[in-house]
Amino acid sequence: MRAGFYALSLLGATLAVGSVCSAQVEISPFVGVYVPGGPFVNGGGVSPAGSSVYSVQQDIAPAGGVRLLGWVRDDLALTVAVAYSPSGTTTQGGSNSPIPVPGTLTYEPINLSARGSVVTGSARALFFVRPDAARRPSTYFIAGLGWLSHNSGNAAGAKTDFGPDLGAGLRLPLTPTIASWVEGQILTFTALAPNLLFSAGVSRKL
């Protein structure tokens, strides 16, 4: 439900970009690699049976998505994008349980893997180094806002992070209507550690 709400929000932003930049709009499918930040769940507890501490973190995984770009001028563009990654989860930690010898504990490590996924979205501005970047190869810098929804395949549930979207990339026009690009971005933070997305795509003018 949350992912659907955020996707609808991005759709609204997409329509806004299209109306502002209707003369020069590009659509681009892309693929990449998602590199997680810190654990999105930290937990534990104490009971008569002992105590436990654990954390749940996403795994590195491939990602894919679609991006809409609208040129404001030849060195500035606005983008909205959504991406999905079948990133599983790893739960790590340990538990202490009493054993028959009085005053002693036995430690049992926890290391569990489960299915999971990540859905991301962003709304960003691309600042190009060249003043004629709409027609020539150019590097660019990224600044905007993003969200990332963690979905765990176990009882840890889901969590959504919001934060800055920062990065840099390179765009290479191939024809007057087609261009390729590569970029690396920080897409929000989880437990003060950045979530990273490295991606590449081919865009086409609408």
Instruction: Please write the tens of the pLDDT for every residue from 149-163.
Output: 988 766 566 788 999
The answer on pLDDT for 112 being more than 80 is no
- Give the best-scoring range by mean pLDDT among 1-5, 55-59, 109-113: 55-59
CB-based contact 150:58 (threshold 8 Å): yes
Contacts with 24 (C-beta within 8 Å, 6 or more apart), sequence order: 70, 71, 134, 205
DSSP states of 149-197: EEEESSTT-EEEEEEEEEEEEEEEE-SSSEEEEEEEEEEEEETTEEEEE
**Nearest Cα to Cα of residue 119 among 77, 168, 66:** 66
The answer on pLDDT for 94 being more than 90 is no
The answer on pLDDT for 34 being more than 80 is yes
CATH of 2-39+60-88+116-205, one of 3.40.50.1220, 3.30.930.10, 3.40.50.970, 2.40.160.20: 2.40.160.20
The answer on pLDDT for 57 being more than 70 is yes
The amino acid at residue 190 is T
DSSP 76: E
Angle ∠(73,81,138) on CA atoms, nearest 5:
40
- Give the best-scoring range by mean pLDDT among 47-51, 85-89, 190-194: 85-89
The answer on pLDDT for 55 being more than 50 is yes
Average pLDDT, the chain: 82
CB-based contact 14:20 (threshold 8 Å): no
The answer on pLDDT for 141 being more than 50 is yes
* Least confident residue range of 12-16, 53-57, 167-171: 12-16
Is residue 97 very low, low, confident or very high in pLDDT (cuts 50, 70, 90)? Answer: low
